[in-house]
Amino acid sequence: MSKSILIDTTICTGCRGCQVACKQWHNLPAEKTTNVGSFQNPQDLSFDTYKLVRMNEEIINGKLEWLFFADQCRHCIDAPCLETAFDENAIYKDSATGAVQYTKTTKKLDADEIIGSCPYNIPRKAVDGTLAKCDMCNDRIHNGLKPACVTACPTGAMQFGDRDEILALAGQRLEKAKKKFPKAMLLNPDEVNVIYLVGFDPELYTDYAVASNDRGGLSRSVALRKMMGPFAKMMRV
Amino acid sequence: MKLDRRDFIKISGATAAGIAVSGLGFDLKQVKSHAGMLKTRYAKESTTICCYCAVGCGAIVHTSKRGDGRVMNIEGDPDHVINQGSLCSKGSSIKQLVENENRLTEPMYRAPYSDKWQTVSWDWALNNIADRVKKTRDESFEKTNAKGQTVNRTTKIASVGSAALDNEECWIYQSLMRSLGLVYIEHQARI
């Protein structure tokens, strides 16, 4: 049974505890940033920032809404980055947890091709082309701990558990959220292990909140490899 | 799906190579150890209280047993009654109070009218603080006010701080300040 995370943005307060806990656990350095007039900081994910609370101010039905979106890797069930890389030494899926893992070997991949394949625009490259993103704190999960971000969340907006439990919880939370937010929805729950619950149109949170056919996905050569299935995997085309 | 000539050659070439290798009995499967060791596996665990706001969240501090005692990780204490493991962004960052290249580890002194700081010893700093507090307090001490009422106070020293003190430290601090006769005792969290 793979593991899943629920991120209920309707009860997120944007405290960024998850964002800092992620940096803290992974020993990642801070970013040098400038004030751009938003509380969102830094402005984007990077090689050193796996988790970022995106903040947007929107006027919805004549009322100012401050939208928080704790962006991170979705750990797709069929991950396009993994298919694109086609190198288990660089990108692989931990079958026990469902977490998609990047290794130092990602340096040998075409970084822009991998980033372009991600429907959620998550992986980021270092100067030398090595790729990095959220690893679901796979080391913590295997040792009976929750991911650092989930442990830190003070409001309970982030929940972690077995996939079926989290899907059930997501359904319950959705019902509850719909009473206050009629447009509430889960984002791609059947395709990803990190399931977001949003109260408004997902496009308002970030351009890449939901997977879209217009971008990401598999290129022609990757689709070919996928079509060949296990046979192709053995051959390493 | 249309195969172009290049793809066809790649696939057929790889097929031949694959059959050749698998025929020799190599195991092509990658063996991976998913369960990495926790960085805190051999660390000493102690509990602490977050020093920032008045909520008083509990945290677990992981320190190295290598002998240097450096802090490796600080995270919310799941057994703590108040926060049950959670921490906000400030609480999540308290490792930086200790592990920080900008942190001062020696007392610094700037003399009156000087424009630079100098490093001094703890003994020198503590003795000088004591001397100056005593001098100012003795010079400004009022036994009675203008109406002749007993006040035993000094209005020439004020204390501002500290939001980072815990309950017991505050008690000791308050006792010390009151015993000197201070009346201006404030807390920077209210300023």
What is the ipTM metric for this complex?
0.81
Query: Is residue A163 within a helix (H) or strand (E), and if so which, with residue range?
Result: helix A163-180
B34 chain-A contacts, CB cut-off 8 A: 94-97, 101, 138, 142
Does any CB of chain A come closer than 8 Å to the CB of residue B74?
yes
Q: Examine the pLDDT at B89 and tell me if it is beyond 80.
A: yes
Residue of A nearest to B79 (CA): A151
Q: How far is B95 from chain A (nearest CA, A)?
A: 8
Q: Beta-carbon neighbour count of residue B61 at 10 Å?
A: 19
Helix intervals (H) in B4-111: 5-23, 89-92, 95-98
Closest CA to A158 of A3, A41, A28, A24: A3
User: Got the DSSP string for A34-99?
Assistant: ---SSS--SSS-BTTBS-EEEEEEEEETTEEEEEEEEE-----SS-HHHHHH--TTTEEE-TTT--
> Which residue on chain B is closest to A139 by alpha carbon?
B36
Out of A25, A95, A224, the one facing B1 most closely (by C-beta) is: A224
- For helices B5-23 and A220-228, what crossing angle results, to 10°? 40
Give the span between the Cα atoms of B86 and B55, in whole angstroms. 12
Are B93 and A94 a contacting pair at CB < 8 A?
no
Q: Locate the chain A residue with the closest alpha carbon to B88.
A: A17
Structure tokens at A151: 């442990």
Could you tell me what percent of chain B has a pLDDT over 90?
A: 59
Q: What is the least distance, in Å, from the CA of B180 to any CA of chain A?
A: 41
Output the pLDDT for position B190: 62
- pLDDT reported for residue A188: 94
Q: B93 vs A20: CB contact, 8 Å cut-off?
A: yes
| pLDDT value at B44 more than 60 | yes
Instruction: Assess B58–A contact: CB distance below 8 Å, yes or no.
Output: no
A96 reaches B (C-beta below 8 A): yes
Q: A97: distance to nearest CA of chain B, Å?
A: 9
- Picking from B1, B35, B88, the nearest residue to A154 by CB comes out as B88
Q: What is the average per-residue pLDDT within B64-77?
A: 91
Query: Quick one: pLDDT band at residue B167, thresholds 50, 70, 90?
Result: confident
Share of chain A above pLDDT 90, in %: 88
Residue B68 has pLDDT above 90, yes or no: no
The predicted structure's pLDDT at residue B42: 85
Contacts of A153 in chain B (CB under 8 A): 86
Contacts of B37 in chain A (CB under 8 A): 139
Diameter over CA atoms, chain B: 108
* A153 vs B1, B17, B86: nearest CB: B86
pLDDT single digits (tens) B90-144: 999 999 999 998 999 999 999 999 999 999 999 999 999 999 999 999 999 999 9
Task: Tell me the pLDDT tens digit for each residue of A99-137.
Answer: 999 999 999 999 999 999 999 999 999 999 999 999 999
Among the residue ranges A3-7, A220-224, B63-67, B160-164, the one predicted with the least confidence is: A220-224
Residue A86 to chain B, least CA–CA distance (Å)? 13
Among chain A residues, the shortest Cα distance to B85 is held by A151
- Encoded amino acid at A177, one letter: A
d(CA A140, CA B38): 7
Q: Nearest by CB to B93, from A24, A88, A235: name it.
A: A24
Binned at pLDDT 50, 70 and 90, residue A81 comes out as very high
| H/E element, A230 | helix A230-235
pLDDT, tens digit, 9 for 90 and up, residues A163-209: 999 999 999 999 999 999 999 999 999 999 999 999 999 999 999 99
Check pLDDT > 50 for residue B21: no
Q: How far away is chain B from the Cα of A61, in angstroms, using its nearest Cα?
A: 31
The SS3 call for residue A166 is helix
| Residue B52 tokens, joined | 């920032």
A62: distance to nearest CA of chain B, Å? 31
Predicted TM-score (pTM) of the model is 0.78
Specify the pLDDT at position A147: 97
Q: Which residues contact A120 (CB under 8 A, 6 or more apart)?
A: A71, A73, A74, A208, A209, A211, A216
Across the interface, whether the CB atoms of A92 and B17 are under 8 A apart is answered no
Who contacts A194 (Cβ-Cβ below 8 Å, separation ≥6)?
Answer: A4, A5, A7, A72, A73, A74, A75, A136
Residue B16 scores a pLDDT above 70: no
Please write the tens of the pLDDT for every residue from A68-77: 999 999 999 9
Which stretches of B58-185 are DSSP H helices?
89-92, 95-98, 122-140, 167-180
Q: What is the token pair recorded at A168? A: 């059930």
pLDDT at residue B1 is higher than 50: no
Task: For chain A, give the number of residues.
Answer: 237
Partners of B153 in the β-ladder: B142
For A135, the closest chain B residue by CA position comes to B34
Q: What's the pLDDT score for residue A57?
A: 95
Express the helix, strand and coil content of chain A in percent, nearest 5 each.
30, 20, 45
Cα separation, A10 vs A196, whole angstroms:
10
* Structure tokens belonging to residue B169: 């430290």
Q: E-strand spans in B4-163? A: 44-49, 58-63, 71-76, 108-109, 118-119, 142-144, 150-160
Query: Exposed (0-12), middle (13-18) or buried (19+): which is A77, by Cβ within 10 Å?
Result: middle
User: In b/e form, how buried is each residue of B119-147, taking b as 16+ CB within 10 angstroms?
Assistant: eeeeeeeeeeeeeeeeeebeeeeeeeeee
Q: Are B60 and B77 contacting, i.e. CB atoms less than 8 angstroms apart?
A: yes
Q: Which residues contact B18 (CB under 8 A, 6 or more apart)?
A: A234, A235, A236
